[in-house]
Amino acid sequence: MKDLIGKPRIVYAVFILATLGLGLASGLTNIPDGWYSALNKPFFNPPNWIFGPVWTVLYILIGVAGARLFLIKPRSDAMAIWFAQLALNLCWSPSFFGHHSIGPALGIILVLLLLLVIFIRMTLPIDRIAALLFAPYVLWVGFASLLNLSLFILNW
C-alpha cells in the first residue's frame, strides 16, 4: 500500500479508469429498452443522448475525488463512504433498467443522494477539493432522484 501511495499518478489512473469502467459496464449491460420508451415521462425528462456525456464527466470527477482522498486518508470513514456510494451508483441501472423496478431504484437513488451529502460533509475538513468535486454529482443525482420519483408517480 505504501508503494501505491507514493505514486499519485498510478492512484489517479486506477481510480479514474476503474470508476469509468465500472460505470460503463453498468450502463452497457442495462441499456434502456422498449419498457423505458413506453413509460409516461415528466415534461423535464432530458433526451437519452445526454446521459452518456454527463455520466462520463461525473465518473471522472468521482474517480479524481476518490484518488485525492485515498492519497490523504485511505483508511478513513469518508473513503468507506466513497466506496459505498459507488456501489449504490452501480446498483441503480440494473434495478431500474434491468429489472424494470422503479420503486426499488427510487430507494437506491435516495440513499445514494444521502451518501453523497455525507461524503461531502466528511471530506470537507480532509480535502476541500475532493468534497467540491462531488457538487455536480449531488446536483445530477438530485435531479435524477426527482426524475425517478416522477416516473414512479406517473407509472404507478
Instruction: Give the position of cell 465518473.
Output: 59
Is the pLDDT at 5 greater than 90? The verdict is no
For the chain, which residues make up each domain, given as ranges?
Answer: 2-154
Q: Which pLDDT belongs to residue 3? A: 52
Q: How far apart are CA 98 and CA 100, in angstroms?
A: 6
pLDDT, tens only, 113-136:
999 999 999 999 999 999 999 999
Is the pLDDT at 142 greater than 80? The verdict is yes
45-55: average pLDDT:
95
Q: How far apart are CA 121 and CA 116, in angstroms?
A: 9
CB 156 within 8 A of CB 91: no
- Locate 44 and state its grid cell: 423535464
Q: What is the pTM of this model?
A: 0.93
Report residue 2's pLDDT band, with 50, 70 and 90 as the boundaries. Answer: low
Q: Which pLDDT belongs to residue 116? A: 98
Q: Which pLDDT belongs to residue 1? A: 47
Is the pLDDT at 6 greater than 70? The verdict is no
